[in-house]
Amino acid sequence: MNFAPLPTVDVSSVPGDALILDVREADEWAAGHVDGALHVPMSDFVARFGEVTEAVADGRRAYVMCRVGGRSAQVTQYLVQQGIDAVNVDGGMLAWEGAGRPMVADHGGPAFVA
């Protein structure tokens, strides 16, 4: 069985107005996330799939992120199989933070990747 290569982009290629889909758990999200991202934890993904399809209804590409790229790769593969334009963000939030891209936190203090 052959699988198409997983569509992947580097954090520097993610547009500032991109639809970011963060699939990390709530504690990870609270510590630091991309402002304006759609938070749908992988553990809730199937139950909340409608939120994702609604967000990409206008044909927007979903940039899928987790901490380092493992969970987001699985979600990206699922989305692509559903016919959704989705790409995995290589290196996830650790790469995002390392590149100095902006983050916010729920606790009001400095954002960090948990």
Active site residues: 66
Q: What is the dihedral of CA 62, 63, 64, 68, to 10 degrees?
A: 180
- Which among 63, 50, 52, 62 is positioned nearest to 91, based on CA atoms? 63
Distance CA 43, CA 9 (A): 24
In this structure, how many other beta carbons lie within 10 angstroms of the beta carbon of residue 78?
A: 17
- Give the number of other CB atoms < 10 A from CB of residue 22: 24
